């Protein structure tokens, strides 16, 4: 997907260089003013926040980062170092500790109303998906989910039908509420930056719901969303114990491990490893699909990977149609052999 959009962005970038009038529209004086909602965990910026920041930078104009939480200080300091941030709004209150949308949404609405942002950006992660549509409804505007490209300040590109079609949509709303597909934009980088920091506006903190607890999956391997290499197993793995083969190979390659829905549903691995339309969307440099047939819903989550490898004993499996390199062989033979030879 990104590959298709890139020519568009590049041609626009070229247009900016050769036609100064375009640069006025896209980089300065556009009147754009964006609010970046910062997702964070354990005192560090998380999710697709830095990718969403890159998307906001493409629009031009001022970018204000909002950090809300029980102890937001470190995150506020961290995000201030990234390019394009002109101001950091800090909302410190225990009511924001677990990012409950019922308290976060009124805060974002208050910030938008007081400061008049034209765009609100967040990553299209469990956090962004949960909060931003609620904000949009409170502002009576559409939300634009999972964008993979920006054509102009009101026109955005997003995949529909599990990535089998790409829609270009134009918003008629005054405020654009946008979640960004992390893999479609590179992460922003740090620069010499000294944005101002101020307290976020006060908003009502009605406790409509209560956070009870969480069970997070601990892993020493790279995070699926940002890993450069991903190895995924499907139904062909036969059971959870056999995933150890993939972990061994992943460790050799410094790769993250993912799974198809079939493998998750069969209980081989945890839900949070699912890649696909309804799981995570990844676009690593190398994606190795092991024992995965390649259903539409799975392809939706990985077909923007740079190089795709399929290892499957069924030569007719649809995964081979998208794989750059396909190896028709029993995975129980091929995977250990590969681990041993690397």
Partner 1 sequence: MSKALRIVVPVKRVIDYAVKVRVNPSKTDVDRNVKHSMNPFDEIAVEEAVRIKERLPSTEIIAVSCGSAKSQETLRTALAMGADTAIHVEVADDSKLQPLAVAKLLKAIAEEQKPDVIILGKQAIDDDSNQTGQMLAGLLNWPQATFASKVEISDTLAKVTREVDGGLETISSKLPVIITTDLRLNEPRYASLPNIMKAKKKKLTKSSPEQLKVDIAPRLETLKVEEPPKRQGGKKVESVDDLIDKLKNEAKVL
Annotated binding-site positions for FAD = 235, 260-261, 274-278, 291-298, 312
Helix (H, G, I), strand (E, B) or coil at 311: strand
Phi, psi of 300 (to 5 degrees): -55, -25
- Binding positions for partner 1, 78-107, rule CB under 8 A: 98, 100-102, 105
Smaller CB separation from partner 1, 115 or 142 = 142
Query: How far is 133 from 141, CA to CA, in rounded Å?
Result: 9
Q: Do you know the residue count of the chain?
A: 342
Q: Are 36 and 59 contacting, i.e. CB atoms less than 8 angstroms apart?
A: no
Q: Are 306 and 217 contacting, i.e. CB atoms less than 8 angstroms apart?
A: no
CA angle 172, 174, 177 (to 5 degrees): 90
Q: Are 181 and 147 contacting, i.e. CB atoms less than 8 angstroms apart?
A: yes
Helix (H, G, I), strand (E, B) or coil at 47: coil
Phi, psi of 36 (to 5 degrees): -105, 120
Query: How far is 177 from 290, CA to CA, in rounded Å?
Result: 38
Smaller CB separation from partner 1, 26 or 127 = 127
Query: With binding defined as CB under 8 A, does residue 271 bind partner 1?
Result: yes
Shortest spacing between CB 10 and partner 1, in angstroms: 14
Query: With binding defined as CB under 8 A, does residue 263 bind partner 1?
Result: no
The stretch near partner 1 (CB under 8 A) out of 12-20, 84-92, 237-245, 325-333 is: 325-333
Query: With binding defined as CB under 8 A, does residue 241 bind partner 1?
Result: no
Query: With binding defined as CB under 8 A, does residue 265 bind partner 1?
Result: yes
Shortest spacing between CB 222 and partner 1, in angstroms: 14
Query: With binding defined as CB under 8 A, does residue 235 bind partner 1?
Result: no
| Radius of gyration (C-alpha) of the chain in whole angstroms | 21
- Binding positions for partner 1, 295-314, rule CB under 8 A: 296-297, 303, 306-309
Shortest spacing between CB 20 and partner 1, in angstroms: 26
- Binding positions for partner 1, 108-147, rule CB under 8 A: 125-127, 129-138, 140-146
Smaller CB separation from partner 1, 37 or 135 = 135
Shortest spacing between CB 71 and partner 1, in angstroms: 19
Number of residues that bind partner 1 (CB under 8 A): 93
């Amino acid at each position: 997907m990104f590959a298709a959009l890139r020519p568009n962005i590049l041609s626009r970038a070229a247009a900016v260089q050769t036609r100064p009038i375009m640069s006025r529209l896209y980089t300065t004086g556009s009147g754009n003013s964006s609010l970046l909602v910062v997702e964070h965990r354990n005192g560090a910026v998380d999710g697709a926040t830095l990718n969403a920041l890159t998307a906001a930078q493409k629009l031009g104009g001022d970018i204000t980062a909002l950090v809300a939480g029980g102890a937001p200080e470190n995150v506020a300091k961290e995000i201030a170092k990234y390019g394009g941030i002109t101001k950091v709004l800090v909302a410190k209150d225990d009511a924001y500790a677990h990012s409950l949308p019922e308290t976060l949404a009124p805060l974002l609405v208050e910030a938008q109303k007081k400061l008049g942002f034209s765009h609100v950006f967040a990553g299209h992660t469990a956090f962004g998906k949960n909060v931003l549509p609620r904000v949009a409804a409170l502002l009576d505007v559409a939300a634009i989910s999972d964008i993979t490209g920006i054509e102009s300040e009101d026109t955005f590109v997003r995949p529909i039908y599990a990535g089998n079609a790409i829609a270009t949509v134009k918003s008629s709303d005054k405020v654009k509420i946008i979640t960004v597909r992390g893999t479609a934009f590179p992460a922003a980088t740090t620069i010499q930056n000294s944005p101002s920091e101020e307290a976020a506006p006060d908003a009502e903190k009605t406790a409509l719901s209560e956070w009870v607890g969480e069970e997070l999956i601990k892993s020493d391997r790279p995070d699926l969303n940002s890993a450069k290499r991903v190895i995924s197993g499907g139904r062909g793995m036969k059971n959870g114990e056999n995933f150890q083969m993939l972990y061994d190979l992943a460790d050799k390659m410094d790769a993250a491990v993912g799974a198809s829905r079939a493998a998750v549903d069969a209980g081989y691995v945890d839900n949070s490893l699912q890649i696909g339309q309804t799981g995570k969307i990844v676009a690593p440099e190398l994606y190795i699909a092991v024992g995965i047939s390649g259903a539409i819903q799975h392809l939706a989550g990985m077909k923007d990977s740079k190089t795709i490898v399929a290892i499957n004993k069924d030569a007719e499996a649809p995964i081979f149609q998208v794989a750059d390199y396909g190896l028709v062989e029993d995975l129980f033979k091929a995977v250990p052999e590969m681990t041993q030879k690397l």
